[in-house]
Amino acid sequence: MKTVGELGEDGLIAQLCGGLSVSGKVVVGPGDDCAVVGEGDLLTLLKADAVVAGVHFLAGEDPRRVGWKAVARVLSDFAAMGGTPGELLVTIALENKTPVDWVIRLYEGMTKCLDQHGGVIVGGETTSLPEGAPAMISVAGRGTVKSSEVVTRSGGRPGDAIYVTGTLGGSIRGKHLDFTPRLEEANWLTRHFKINAMMDLSDGLAKDLPRLARMSGCGFEIDRETLPLSEGISVEEALGDGEDYELLFTSGDEIEGTWGTTFPDLRLTRVGQLILGKGSPLEGGWDHFKR
């Protein structure tokens, strides 16, 4: 009998999504950074995400950084759709012996991120865990996006330039906990340009770009020499490390000039283009179940 580890994350999700029915008010269903529901000028984004001790953070990590990450991951997904954070729910699952102070500092990190980037916690749930089980923090909630500015993974077109913000790789040195969700940048992009496809880079460019291209019905080619490497990082690490939480997007517009004057402190790099057909495979990237 096949295990989820053998099938892998994308295979598992594909199998599960096949059995789901989709109703009229669902604009974007499973498979994108957020679900999009509703109708009219202002649509609702729905997102749920979880971080687990030993997987997304070390058990001894500063809980304020854990809280920041748990919330920022969701905000990063709202950004990837061109949206704005709204109301969030926090589910925490902890061993009984967890110090109260740990939880208070976890919330400090969450509210610090929300104060800086938008969104508010409106509720949640607590549950105990069996002795020895890793702590888990799940953040779920809604955002909003103008229907004229919503961007999915599936709108890319052959000939689109492929862009990434910031630098790639080496996130484990700290950025995976302290990263900035690219809400401001994404909102600026969708207001000023025709962004055809966008997602946030969570599992590494080698894993995420093929997802975007596949959902857009395109191939892709990238120029490895152009990849914006984090300091001391190899091309392979930049492709495969994951948890960059930068924006990956495609557009037919010329963006780099205006970007440079608007966001002088954040690199924007054109790394390749979408093409007709299947394009070249990329090795690497993080699979939640395959390692």
Q: Write out the binding residues for its own copies, residues 135-194 only, by CB under 8 A.
A: 136, 138, 140-142
- Interface residue with its own copies among 40, 41, 60, 97 (CB under 8 A) is 97
Helix 63-80 vs helix 100-117: crossing angle, to nearest 10: 30
Q: Per the structure block, which two tokens stand in for 165?
A: 């913000």
Q: Confirm or reject binding of residue 22 to its own copies (CB under 8 A).
A: yes
**What is the rounded distance in angstroms from the CA atom of residue 282 to the CA atom of residue 183?**
28
Contacts of 63 (CB under 8 A, 6+ apart): 102, 103, 105, 106, 109
Number of residues in contact with its own copies, rule: CB under 8 A?
Answer: 76
Q: Per the structure block, which two tokens stand in for 226?
A: 């152009």
- What is the closest distance, in whole angstroms, from the C-beta atom of residue 183 to its own copies in the complex? 17
Of the candidates 4, 20, 31, the one whose C-alpha atom is nearest the C-alpha of residue 214 is: 31
Q: Per the structure block, which two tokens stand in for 287?
A: 């699979």
The three-state DSSP-derived secondary structure of 141-178 is: EEEEEECCCCCCCCCCCCCCEEEEECCECCHHHCHHHH
- What is the closest distance, in whole angstroms, from the C-beta atom of residue 224 to its own copies in the complex? 29
Q: Confirm or reject binding of residue 20 to its own copies (CB under 8 A).
A: yes
Q: Is 122 strand, coil or helix? A: strand
- Binding span for its own copies by CB under 8 A among 124-132, 160-168, 265-273, 274-282: 124-132
Q: Confirm or reject binding of residue 215 to its own copies (CB under 8 A).
A: no
141 or 156, CB closer to its own copies? 141
- Interface residue with its own copies among 42, 58, 120, 276 (CB under 8 A) is 120
Q: Confirm or reject binding of residue 43 to its own copies (CB under 8 A).
A: no
Compute the half-sphere exposure of residue 23: CA atoms within 13 Å on the CB side of its CA. 4
81 or 268, CB closer to its own copies? 81
- Binding span for its own copies by CB under 8 A among 28-36, 146-154, 259-267, 268-276: 28-36
- Interface residue with its own copies among 41, 127, 281, 283 (CB under 8 A) is 127
Let me know: does 68 contact 109? Beta carbons within 8 Å. yes
- What is the closest distance, in whole angstroms, from the C-beta atom of residue 137 to its own copies in the complex? 10
- What is the closest distance, in whole angstroms, from the C-beta atom of residue 184 to its own copies in the complex? 19
- Interface residue with its own copies among 62, 65, 116, 129 (CB under 8 A) is 129
Q: Per the structure block, which two tokens stand in for 133?
A: 């089980």
Q: Confirm or reject binding of residue 21 to its own copies (CB under 8 A).
A: yes
In the chain, what's the furthest Cα-to-Cα distance?
56
- Interface residue with its own copies among 100, 257, 265, 283 (CB under 8 A) is 100
